[in-house]
Structure 1
Amino acid sequence: MIPNHIKQSLKTLIPLRQPAFLWGAPGVGKSQVVAQVADELGMALTDVRAVLLDPVDLRGLPSINSEGVAHWAPPAFLPTGGKGVLFLDELNAAPPLVQAACYQLVLDRKIGEYTLPDGWTVIAAGNRETDRAVTHRMPSALANRFVHLDFSVDVEAWLQWADQAGLCQEVSAFIRFRPNLLHNFDPKKNEKAFPSPRSWEFAARIVASVPDPDVELSLLKGTVGPGAAAEFAGFSKMFRQLPDPDGVINHPETADVPDEPAVLYALCEALAQKADEETTESIMAYASRLPSEFGVLLVRDAVKTHRGMVDSPAFSQWATANSDVLL
């Protein structure tokens, strides 16, 4: 399931207090999606890394009251009221005894003398056994307590998130050009660094910080792997030599149209970010001069930036002239 479908599924399951388990490769954004859903539902989020727990950490410690009776004091990280999501991340990476301690919490919403408040739902996540990450086989009795959702990567959803998060255009333009490199994980290769939505976020932050050119490629290799880093470095060299987007907007009828597809992807990304009421006509004029697939790319992304573009006469003229491509 793509991230948007995962989010819609969680928005159905959480109000029902139905536990769910998200399965996915490392770095695809499982934790982030859970946090986004909790925020959109206006609920608190308690993120518990199950792999770091001992069995006693969930049950709590015994204490003796004035009557000489032992009681279990639950840990402070477990919620005591309100509404929220108790997120057990990396649950299947936890030792079997910790997983066993989760049985009662997931099934009966209690563990020892602690009871999960009515407004809270248990959601868990973990890597697949085929990913060769550190995992312990989940007992069938525990697995049967969850609705299981398989998490897959979606390029458009990530690009939309990257735009909202303000990641640098250079990385977004590259992912549009090489979408297969958004997530390229082969568990058989045992690589320390590989392309994933999470590692590209790290790479975008590195690029935005303008590192020393002598170390930039090494930093990227250590973030997204040598192959993806080399391709991105070549793309970046062209990206940084793009025609000035402002110059294109000021002279859309005479500005150069690059021949190299990678440069066109990057230029369309840069122009789309400048879309507003004043630049609409110029962007539409330049889009009409591009190869049809790039014209559609530019207009589609520009509309995401400035929705009012669709109401302009320039958009209507362009859409009429390109109706065969849009159908």
Structure 2
Amino acid sequence: MNPKQIKSSLKTLISLKQPVFIWGAPGVGKSQVIAQVAEEMKRQLTDVRAVLLDPVDLRGLPSVKNNVAHWSPPSFLPTEGEGVLFLDELNAAPPLVQAACYQLVLDRKVGEYSLPDGWTVVAAGNRETDRAVTHRMPSALANRFVHLDFSVDVDIWLEWAEGQGFSEEVLSFIRFRPNLLHNFDPKQNEKAFPSPRSWEFAARILAAAPAPEVELSLLKGTVGPGAAAEFEGFVRMFRQLPDPDVVIDQPRMADVPEEPATLYALCEALAKRAGEETAESIVTYASRLPSEFGVLLVRDAAKKHRGIVETPAFSNWATANSDVLF
């Protein structure tokens, strides 16, 4: 399921108070999506790293009152309101810790503690095939969850990343090499590899303008040496692009690059400048591009400024490219 489908499913299951487990490879954004859903539903989020717990931690410590033993629950468990109790990395926890979660997940209580009515248990973890630190989940615990598989979707990630203000270099490169958004091979045992999470780190590093002599090393340590080398070459090309403002000023005269990577980058830069005053020029220039890049440019520009479809240039362009559009 892509992230939007995961979010929709979570909203349904949380409203039903149905425990749910999200499975996915490292770095795909499982925790981030769960946090977004909690925020959109205006619910508290309590993030409990199950792998850090001991079996007795959920039940709490004993105390004696009137010669009777009582269990004092831990402070991290909620006592009021509405929210999501997020058991992250649950299947990385030792079997005894997972066993301690049985009652909490199904019966909404453990020892003398009861989960408030407005709270739902959500868990997440890596797949056993990813060779991350995992323990096989006992069937008794697995049967207490609805299980959802999280998959990466390039278009959805790009939409999110643009909203976060990621640099044009990162967005253009992922459009050009979508297979490198997430390229994880558990057999390689690499410390750094391309993933939605590591590309977010890379975007932050670029925004901090590191010294040129360390930029490549930083990227290698973030997305891995192979992806970093490709990205660095793309960035060098990107930084030598024709000035997008000159293209907008002279859409009929500006040069049209021949390299696909350069075209991807230029389309990204132009689309970000879409507006009432630039719409006509952008569509005019798009009409001079190879059809697939013209469609890319106009589509992305229309996301930025919907009025672009009302320009005379768009009507001419749409007629000329009807075989591609329809």
Q: Classify the TM-score, shorter chain.
A: over 0.9
**After the TM superposition, which segments of 4 or more aligned residues of structure 1 sit over 6 Å from their partners?**
none
Q: CA deviation at 1:84?
A: 1.1
Segment of structure 1 superposing worse, 313-322 or 121-130 = 313-322
State the Cα distance separating 1:3 from its structure 2 match: 0.9
SS in 1 for 2:134: coil
* Structure 2 alignment gaps of length 5 or more: none
SS of 1:57 mapped into structure 2: coil
Identity of aligned residues (%): 80
Cα drift, residue 317 of structure 1:
2.6
Pairs within 5 Å for 1:65-80: 65=65, 67-80=66-79
In 1: Cα distance, 2:284 partner to 2:291 partner? 13
C-alpha displacement of 1:320: 2.0
Give the CA deviation at 1:45: 1.0
Distance 1:310 1:63, change over 3 A: farther
Distance 1:258 1:40, change over 3 A: same
Aligned 1:45-194 pairs, distance under 5 A: 45-65=45-65, 67-194=66-193
**Cα deviation digits, residues 72-97 of structure 1 (max 9, x gap):** 11111111111111111100000111
Aligned residues: 326
1:172-217 Cα deviation digits (max 9, x unpaired): 1000000000000000010000000000000111111111111111
The answer as to 2:250 corresponding to 1:251 is yes
**Aligned partner of 1:289: which letter?**
R
TM-score w.r.t. length of structure 1: 0.98
- Return the offset for 1:27: 0.2
Q: Distance in 2 between matches of 1:179 and 1:29?
A: 17
Mapped partners of 2:272, 2:111: distance in 1: 54
Task: Find the counterpart in structure 2 of residue 236 from structure 1.
Answer: 235
| TM-aligned CA distance change 1:60 to 1:270, over 3 Å | same
CA RMSD of aligned residues (A): 1.0
State the secondary structure of the residue aligned to 2:58: helix
Aligned to 1:321: 320
1:150: how far off? 0.7
Instruction: Measure, in 2, the Cα distance between the counterparts of 1:91 and 1:290.
Output: 50
What is aligned with 1:12?
12
SS at match of 2:57: helix
Work out the CA distance in 1 between the residues paired with 2:108 and 2:312.
Answer: 59
Give the distance between the partners of 1:312 and 1:73, measured in 2 at CA. 68
Letter in 1 for 2:219: L
Aligned partner of residue 36 in structure 1, secondary structure: helix
Per-residue CA distance 1:146-189 (angstroms, 9 max, x = gap): 11111111000100110011111111100000000000000001
Report the secondary structure of 2:324's partner residue: helix
1:25 paired residue number: 25
1:223-254, Cα deviation, whole Å (9 max, x unpaired): 00000000001100100001111111111111
State the AA in 2 paired with 1:217: L
Alpha-carbon shift at residue 64 of structure 1 (Å):
2.1
Give the residue type in structure 2 aligned to 1:2: N
How far apart are residue 315 of structure 1 and its match?
A: 2.3
**Aligned position for 1:43:** 43
Q: Which amino acid aligns with 2:15?
A: P
Query: Which one-letter code corresponds to 2:43 in the other structure?
Result: M
